[in-house]
Structure 1
Amino acid sequence: MPSVPDAPASAPFDPASATIAVVTYNRSGLLTRLLESISNMEPKPGHLVIVDNASTDDTTDVVESFRDGIGTEIVYRRLDTNTGGSGGFSEGMRIAYELGSTWIWLMDDDVEVMPDGLARMGAWAPRFKSIQGRRYDYDGSEFYWQYRIAESMAIPIPFAPAGFDDSGYKVMNSGCFEGMFIHRDIVAQIGLPDPRFFIYWDDQMYGWLASRETTAVIVDEFVLRRTREIRQWDMGIRHMNASSDAYRYYIMRNRGHMKQYYRALGVYQPVLFGLGTALTFGKELIRLLFVEHTVRGTSNLFRGLRDGRKIAKDATWKPMPPLAVSAPTDH
C-alpha cells in the first residue's frame, strides 16, 4: 500500500474543477431532494452529470426543472436500458472525465449533500487523490462505513476501528460510490468502473484498485445524508441492511469478476479467496434470517455462485483498461 505522502501540498482546490456524477433510476422524488441540496450548496461544482438508468417515471421532467436554477451546468444522459449502478457510475465517470474534470464526486440519488460538502471534500484535495467522506444515516445517526477489506479474502473487515485521531483521516483500501471523491489522474490509471458488475462489489473493487495507485483515505467530514429509510438489524457496532433477490444473486455472481481481477493483478490466493466467498454466503444467510426474517431467497445465492464460476473460467475475460494518461493539472 502506498505510504501517506509527505510532499508539500499542491495548489488550492478549485470547485469549478469538480463534477458531481449522480446515478438515478425511477426515484424522481429522491432525486428532487438531492438536486435541491445541490442548489443550496456553496461552493458548487463546475458540472453536474446525471445518468438516468432508463427511468419510466418523471425523472426527465425533474432534471429539466432544475436546469436553469441549480447554479451549475447539468449534463443529463438517459440510457436506453438499465445498466445497474455499475453501468451508471461507469458512464457518469466517463462523461465527467471527458468534460475535463479534475475531481469526480460520485453519489446515488438517495442522499442529499451538506451545504458545505464540496468545500469540506476540497479541503483534502491538495493532499490526497482518492477521498471518501462520511454520511449521516436516515435517522441522523453517524453511519459506520467499512473502509478496510481483508485483501486476500476480498471482503470488508466489519469491525475496523470507527474512531479518528487528530489527523482527521484513516487510510483505506476500499471504496464506496456513495460519496467517492477521486482525481482524474487515478481514473486514467485504473480505468472506468466496471459495468459488468451491474450491482454490488463494483465500488469496493474500484476503491481497492485506486488504493494500489495512491494513498486512499476516509476523512472525518460529514458531507452526505441518506434520504431513504432502509430496514436494518442493529448490531450495536454496525448495522446490517435488508437486501433483495437481485442483490443476493449479484453478491455471489460477482465474486467471479473479483477473482479474475485478482488473477490479473497477481494477488489471487485460492484458499483465502474461497474462504471470503464462503463467509459472504454465510453473511447473506444471516441477513435473510435476522433482517428479513425468512429463509426464502437462498436459491439466488446458489444461482450467483454457479454463474460466478462461469465468469471465473472465462479465458477471454480482461480487466477494464486504463484511460489515456491525464495531462498534469494545477488543481
Structure 2
Amino acid sequence: MSGNRRENFYIVITTFNRQDYLAQLFDSIAALDPAPDGVVVVDNASTDGTAAVIDKAAAQLAALGTPIPLVVHRLAENAGGAGGFSAGVDRALAEGAQWLWLMDDDVTTVPGAIAAFGPWMDKYDAMVGRRYNSAGQPFFWQHNFSDFLGFPLPVPGDVFKNSNEFATNVGCFEGMLLHADAVAEVGLPDPRFFLNWDDAIYGWLISLQRPVIYVNAFVLQKTREQRTIDLGIRHLNDSSDLSRFYMMRNRGLVAQYLRAKGKYNPAGFALGTALTAGKELLRLAAVEKTLRGSGKLLKGWRESRRIMADAAWQPMPPLDRTR
C-alpha cells in the first residue's frame, strides 16, 4: 500500500447503542493487513456501554505492532446515520484523511479488505466493495438511480460476469470508499436526511462529476441478523417505524436535489414515490407479516411535501480545500 494514492487511509464508523456489534468491528479492524492509517468513530450520543467499548478499542489498537490511532467524535444528540457520517467525514478530513472507508457499526471487515481495494484506488475516487450477509452469503447490492423516478432500480443478473467492476450511480455508507477529492467536490454528506436516502443521493451526486464503481471484492460482512426475503432481483430486509417514516419523508430531500441538478420530472418523481411506498408496504406484509407501521409512511409523505415546498432550500455546498 505505497504511493501517493494509497496514503492516509481512514475508516469512518458511525455507531449508536450497539456496543456488542461495535466490539466485533474493532476486533476485525485490529486484524486488518495492511492496517488503516487511522479510525474515526462517531458516537451518536449512545446511552449503553459504547463509550467503554471505544476506550477498550483505543487501547487495543494503540498496542498493535504498528499502532492505529483511534479518534473519537462524540455528538451531544443522536444525529442519525446521515448526521453521524457527515460529522465523521468532516473529522477524518481534518485529521488528514485522503481515503475514507465508511461503515456502520454492525459489520466486520475482511482481513485483506484494504489491499483488495488496491487495484481500483489508482483509477477511481468512489467505490463500493461487496458484502457478505450474517450467514456468510453474498449480499445483493447492485442498483442504478433513475433520474426520472428519483428511485434506485435493482440491476438483475451477474454484474461481474464480464468484468470485476460495475459502473453505478448510487452509494452505500455500509462500505463505500471515497477519496477526499470526491468529497470536496460535492460537500459533506447531508445530515438533514437523518436516516435513509443519504448514501444513495451522495453516490448519485458524485456520479454526476466522476465514476462510482461497484467492485468485485468482498470487504465486509454483516454481523446483525435480519429477517429477509429474496425477490430474485433484490433482497428485502426487516425495518422499523423510524426508518419507514424517513424513507418517505426524505423523498422531499431527494426531490430538492433533483431540482438543484435540473433532473426533476414531476410525473416521474410521483411514480417513484409510489414505488417507494409500495416497496415499504411489501416489506411490511412479506417480511414483517403485518401492516402496522403503514401510518408512518403516510406521516413521512406528508412531511416530504413540506420539504418540497421550501423555496429557500439549498444543497450541501462543496468544501473549501484551503481551510
TM bracket, shorter-chain basis = over 0.9
State the shift of 1:235 in Å.
2.3
The change in CA–CA distance for 1:159 and 1:216 in structure 2 (over 3 A counts) is closer
* Length, aligned pairs only: 317
C-alpha contact 1:185 1:326 (8 A) present in aligned 2: no
Equivalent position to 1:269, from 255, 265, 270: 265
Pairing 1:133-152 to 2, within 5 Å after superposition:
133-152=129-148
C-alpha contact 1:30 1:109 (8 A) present in aligned 2: yes
Greater mean alpha carbon deviation, residues 146-155 or residues 318-327: 318-327
C-alpha contact 2:156 2:233 (8 A) present in aligned 1: no
Distance 1:207 1:161 in 2: 22
Distance 1:73 1:249 in 2: 37
Equivalent position to 2:306, from 303, 310, 314: 310
- The residue that corresponds to 2:109 in the other structure is 113
Alignment partner of 2:108: what SS? strand
Equivalent position to 1:35, from 26, 29, 33: 26
- The residue that corresponds to 2:58 in the other structure is 67
Q: Please give the per-residue CA displacement for 1:101-147, whole angstroms capped at 9, x wherever unaligned.
A: 11100000000000001111133100111011000001111011033
State the shift of 1:46 in Å.
1.1
The percent of aligned pairs where both chains have the same amino acid is 46
Query: Does structure 1 residue 26 correspond to structure 2 residue 17?
Result: yes
- AA of the residue aligned to 1:282: G
Equivalent position to 2:157, from 161, 164, 177: 161
- The residue that corresponds to 1:198 in the other structure is 194
Equivalent position to 1:244, from 207, 230, 240: 240
Query: Which runs of 5 or more residues in structure 2 are unaligned?
Result: 62-66
Distance 1:269 1:319 in 2: 18
- The residue that corresponds to 2:42 in the other structure is 51
- The residue that corresponds to 2:277 in the other structure is 281
Equivalent position to 1:82, from 78, 97, 101: 78
State the shift of 1:88 in Å.
0.3
- AA of the residue aligned to 1:156: P
Distance 1:137 1:269 in 2: 36
Distance 2:27 2:96 in 1: 25
Q: Please give the per-residue CA displacement for 1:255-274, whole angstroms capped at 9, x wherever unaligned.
A: 00111111111111111111
Runs of 4 or more, structure 1, over 2 Å off, are 10-14, 158-163, 234-238
Distance 2:91 2:174 in 1: 18
Distance 1:27 1:265 in 2: 37
Distance 1:156 1:80 in 2: 33
State the shift of 1:99 in Å.
1.4
State the shift of 1:148 in Å.
1.4
Distance 1:48 1:249 in 2: 31
Distance 1:153 1:11 in 2: 41
Distance 1:324 1:78 in 2: 24
Distance 1:165 1:298 in 2: 39
- AA of the residue aligned to 2:30: S
Query: Does structure 1 residue 228 correspond to structure 2 residue 214?
Result: no
Alignment partner of 2:272: what SS? helix
C-alpha contact 1:184 1:326 (8 A) present in aligned 2: no
Distance 1:288 1:312 in 2: 26
- AA of the residue aligned to 2:49: D
Q: Which TM-score applies when normalising by structure 1?
A: 0.93
Query: Which runs of 5 or more residues in structure 1 are unaligned?
Result: 1-9
Distance 1:73 1:111 in 2: 20
Q: Which TM-score applies when normalising by structure 2?
A: 0.95
